[in-house]
Structure formats: structure tokens, C-alpha cells
């Protein structure tokens, strides 16, 4: 469990670094949509950090659900008001609803799922043996 948390923490830091790197190297839709996908990857890494035994599909589902919920929350105008007062709120909640973001959150969840799944094949194999054996 400690190893999983260390890897998840490192993945979260790398995801933030990748997001900042993309923002500094690219602009426009490339930076925006890559940032959307990375937002969901970051949420997934944080879910694994908090619950290291979570299955990849569950972690991806939670991350996608959170990202989509935040996007729809933007329809209320509350995130925009908070973002006007706080850079952190702007980063976490965004400011305005944009339907294409939902696709990029799904892509981020799929990529995060694939990486999480690949990083723990032994744990899944052990679980399969425990349920069938």
C-alpha cells in the first residue's frame, strides 16, 4: 500500500508538471483540452493516493464523475464568482461550462485507467486467483 501511495503521489506531481509544461509550451485548444484530460488524470491519481486498493475502473469512474460534476457545477455561476477571488478556485473549479470538456475528461479517465491497470497487473492477477481458487 505504501508503494502504491508513493507511485500515486509521484503520478499526481508528474501530472501537474505535465499540465504546467503544456500550458507554457502550447496555447489555445491544445493546451485547454490537454489540461482537461490531465485534470481527470490528476483526480484519478489523488483517488488512488487516498484509497490505494481501489480498482482501476472504480478510480477512473470516480475521477470522471468528479470532473463531469465540476463541469456542470460551472452552469451555476458559483465557480466563476469564486474564481474571481481565488486562483486556486479557478484552477480547481474552472469558470464556464464547455461541453467538449466532457469528452476530454473521458479521454483522461481512459488514459488514467490504462496506466493504473498496467501499473498493477500483479494485484489484479492475485485478486483473480483469490476469487477463482
> CA–CA separation, 15 vs 43, rounded Å?
10
pLDDT at 133: 47
Predicted confidence band of residue 31 (pLDDT cuts 50, 70, 90): confident
Q: How far is CA 116 from CA 50, 81, 88, in A?
A: 14, 35, 27
pLDDT at 28: 86
Segment 43-87, tens digit of pLDDT: 999 999 999 999 999 999 999 999 999 999 999 999 999 999 999
Closest by CA to 76, choosing from 94, 88, 63, is: 94
Pick 2 or 64 by higher pLDDT: 64
pLDDT at residue 126 above 70?
A: no
The residues near 23 (Cβ < 8 Å, ≥ 6 apart) are 31, 35
> CA–CA separation, 101 vs 68, rounded Å?
9
Q: Locate 107 and state its grid cell.
A: 479521454
Residue position matching grid coordinates 509550451? 25
Residue-averaged pLDDT of the chain? 90
Amino acid at each position: 500500500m505504501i508503494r502504491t501511495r508513493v507511485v500515486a503521489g509521484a503520478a499526481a506531481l508528474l501530472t501537474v508538471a505535465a499540465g504546467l509544461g503544456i500550458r507554457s509550451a502550447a496555447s489555445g485548444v491544445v493546451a485547454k483540452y490537454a489540461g482537461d484530460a490531465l485534470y481527470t488524470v490528476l483526480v484519478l491519481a489523488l483517488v488512488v493516493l487516498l484509497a490505494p486498493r481501489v480498482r482501476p475502473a472504480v478510480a477512473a469512474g470516480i475521477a470522471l464523475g468528479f470532473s463531469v460534476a465540476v463541469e456542470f457545477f460551472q452552469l451555476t455561476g458559483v465557480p466563476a464568482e469564486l474564481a474571481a477571488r481565488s486562483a486556486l478556485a479557478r484552477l480547481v473549479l474552472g469558470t464556464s461550462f464547455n461541453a467538449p470538456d466532457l469528452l476530454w475528461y473521458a479521454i483522461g479517465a481512459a488514459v488514467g485507467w490504462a496506466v493504473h491497470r498496467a501499473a498493477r497487473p500483479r494485484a489484479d492477477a492475485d485478486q483473480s486467483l483469490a476469487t477463482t481458487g
